[in-house]
């Protein structure tokens, strides 16, 4: 049983949206991982269930992670740390916004300590900074070990394993019959890798990741992430089956760069809002929705398929400065 995440999350139909997309209203579903409860919800809460448990097994009391200025993962980690009584140190790519808005404001509200990096987000630089910050905190600790460094996006073996279990959860909610297509935003790759591992034993299910531009090596990283998760799960006594041989990553919806709003994403967010009442975020789920719309319009997805769209959260990002024109149809 989950300690703080609201699991299982709902698997909801969205009939008006399905009809607009040309899908079967009885076979199109939205997996509401925006409804995981703590700290405004989102997919990172599911990952943090396992990551907090890992920290406790190691007798650690500090969570260290990082990301972009408006990182959903950082905000989630700060909120969960407050919930369970741990210290949280965030390493964020600058510049520091003044005044703080959206996720950064919530980071402050949750009591996180924030350290700022110069320049825009570079995945490998931020990962190294998280590791060095954790090492610094450990060196200053009386025990020599107090901090758990969490990779960006929570995409460690433990975090990815959470989404292998999510695949099992989805199949159970569909009456034991796996879906034909699961579509998710893919940033650091943990959610896509975990879902792909979870559905790997069923040839009918295709997991499609819409690359949002968070890391340049996304396609190459997925197999390693899945392998890390499989190792963790086998140690837990659960064999998820083989590591997938291929991963479906679509990179044409990134736009100019990570976190840059695209017209396609804004239009897709408007479509979702006006036909389902669901609010997407400009960095992740709106770009995933743009991918969904494109696949439907091209005929790659049809009413003969059971399709699941992963809503991974990110609501506070709607209030970030870069989202001023978000969701306003052209």
Distance from C-alpha of 107 to C-alpha of 114, rounded to nearest angstrom = 8
Judge contact between 65 and 130, C-beta under 8 A. Answer: yes
The verdict on whether 71 is a catalytic residue reads: yes
Exactly one of 71, 155, 266, 276 is catalytic; which is it? Answer: 71
Distance CA 160, CA 192 (A): 8
Q: Which strand (E) or helix (H) includes residue 92?
A: strand 87-93
DSSP state of 99: S
Element (H, E) at 182: strand 181-186
Among the listed residues 206, 229, 293, 288, the one whose alpha carbon sits nearest the alpha carbon of residue 50: 229
Alpha helix (H) ranges present in 102-257? 102-109, 123-140, 157-173, 190-198, 218-235
Angle, helices 72-84/43-57, rounded to nearest 10 degrees = 50
CB 38 within 8 A of CB 72: no
How buried is residue 147: exposed, middle or buried, by Cβ count under 10 Å (0-12/13-18/19+)?
A: buried
Coil, strand or helix at 97: coil
* Residue whose pair of structure tokens reads 């890992």 in the numeric block: 54
CA 218/CA 8 separation, integer angstroms: 28
Enumerate the active-site residues: 71
């Amino acid at each position: 049983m989950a300690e703080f995440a609201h699991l299982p999350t709902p698997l909801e139909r969205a009939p008006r949206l399905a009809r607009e997309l040309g899908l079967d209203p009885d076979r199109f579903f939205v997996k509401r991982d925006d409804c995981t409860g703590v700290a405004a919800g989102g997919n990172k809460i599911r990952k943090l269930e396992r990551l907090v448990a890992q920290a406790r097994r190691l007798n650690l009391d500090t969570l260290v992670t990082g990301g972009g200025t408006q990182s959903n993962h950082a905000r989630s980690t700060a909120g969960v740390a407050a919930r369970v009584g741990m210290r949280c140190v965030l390493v964020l790519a600058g510049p520091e916004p003044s005044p703080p808005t959206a996720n950064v404001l919530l980071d402050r509200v949750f009591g996180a300590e924030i350290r700022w990096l110069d320049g825009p987000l570079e995945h490998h630089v931020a990962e190294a900074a998280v590791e060095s910050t954790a090492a610094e905190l450990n060196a200053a600790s009386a025990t020599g070990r107090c901090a758990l460094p969490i990779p960006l996006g929570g995409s460690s073996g433990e975090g990815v394993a959470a989404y292998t279990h999510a695949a099992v959860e989805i199949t159970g909610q569909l009456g034991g019959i796996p879906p034909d297509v699961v579509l998710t935003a893919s940033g650091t790759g943990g959610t896509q890798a975990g879902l792909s591992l979870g559905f790997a034993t069923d040839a009918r299910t295709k997991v499609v990741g819409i690359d949002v531009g968070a890391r340049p090596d996304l396609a190459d990283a997925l197999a390693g992430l899945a392998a890390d998760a499989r190792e963790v799960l086998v140690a837990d006594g659960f064999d998820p089956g083989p590591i997938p041989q291929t991963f479906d990553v679509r990179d044409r919806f990134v736009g100019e760069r990570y976190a840059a709003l695209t017209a396609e994403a804004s239009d897709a967010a408007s479509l979702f809002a006006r036909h389902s009442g669901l609010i997407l975020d400009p960095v992740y789920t709106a770009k995933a929705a743009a991918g969904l719309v494109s696949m439907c319009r091209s005929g790659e997805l049809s009413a003969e398929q059971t399709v699941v769209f992963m809503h991974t959260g990110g609501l506070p990002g709607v209030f970030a400065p870069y989202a001023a024109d978000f969701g306003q149809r052209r």
